[in-house]
Amino acid sequence: MKITIVGPGAMGCLLACFLSKSKEEIWLLDKNPERAQKIKEQGLKIEGISGSWQVKVNIAAQAKEIAQPQDLVIIAVKSYDTKNAVKDIKSLLSETSLVLSLQNGLGNIEIISEVVGQERVLGGITNQGATLLGPGWVRHAGKAETVIGRLDGRLPVELRFIRELFNQCGLETRLSKDIKSLLWSKLIINVGINALTALTHLHNGKLIEFAGTRKILEEAVNEAVRVAKKKRIKLIYDDPLSKVEAVCEATAANVSSMLQDVLRRKPTEIDFINGAIVRQAQALNLPTPVNSVLTNLVKTIEASYNLRVNL
């Protein structure tokens, strides 16, 4: 099986490290030629709860360097880069190629489907915790399952093969016939954690140790749950708030992806997470004051990176 992972961020590098344990042909696609060359020379390095190890990986800065059609392309870029990333990999797709989104937020599957067709697209969530420490260097901060599926609920043999491959490589994976519910359930976890960590600069686990952040987390999650219920989306957790708190505990040492973006003064995925809840709520005439404030504050941070006060 030929697999290309698009995006050398924390999750992309983590996936490439684990999948490189297999006998399959694994490629990492990075739009930055200088970074790609550095990773090619140094390899990928992982540390943390899965141990410390390094691995060499095939890496390219352009899809044409990979040349051969791929059986599976995994999209692991930031949500705001999804459309460009999918356009870039069209040359890697044959009639039987599949494209798997393992990204945060809402809207990625729809964006990918517009470019390659819904029949090729797989949706997925992964609760692995990873922090990017440098080019190709990742701290594995939390182990959790990955779940994949199709929007139409079918589970063809190709999905079962992907599941077995992931499991063999140490990535606990299962299939789901209701990927939409999973995406919304993961969204609600991100709604509770990401923006708050970006604003407070706290690790995930610290959010539930302070009364103020715990209260805001609770209100943001409850707003998102009300939106999901209004849309008649069945969440996979009986108690979503307890699940968010459990994730905070399980990934206590993790630096969320949004906090990583803010610390590096990069764009965030706020529009695809808390911002997505606000937009969905507006269409349903539901109030979401806490998610609106979180969205506006993170967007203000993004817009003012060059104006920060330093004492």
Each domain of the chain, given as residue ranges in start order, spans 2-177, 181-307
Q: How far apart are the first and last CA of the chain?
A: 54
Rg (CA), the chain: 19
pLDDT digits (tens, 9 = 90+) for 208-226: 999 999 999 999 999 999 9
Task: Give domain 2-177's CATH architecture.
Answer: 3-Layer(aba) Sandwich (3.40)
Query: Which one is catalytic: 21, 186, 206, 229?
Result: 186
β-pairing verdict for 129-134 and 137-142: antiparallel
Q: Which amino acid is at 134?
A: G
- Burial (CB count <10 Å: 0-12, 13-18, 19+), residue 211: exposed
The verdict on whether 186 is a catalytic residue reads yes
CATH topology of domain 181-307: N-(1-d-carboxylethyl)-l-norvaline Dehydrogenase; domain 2 (1.10.1040)
In the numeric block, the tokens 């550095």 are attached to 38
Distance in angstroms (rounded) separating the CA atoms of residues 31 and 6 = 9
pLDDT digits (tens, 9 = 90+) for 102-161: 999 999 999 999 999 999 999 999 988 888 999 999 999 878 889 999 989 999 999 999
Q: Which amino acid is at 258?
A: M
Query: Which residues, other chains included, contact 145 with Cβ-Cβ below 8 Å and sequence gap of 6+?
Result: 126, 127, 172, 173, 174
pLDDT digits (tens, 9 = 90+) for 225-251: 999 999 999 999 999 999 999 999 988
Distance in angstroms (rounded) separating the CA atoms of residues 278 and 292 = 6
pLDDT of residue 128: 87
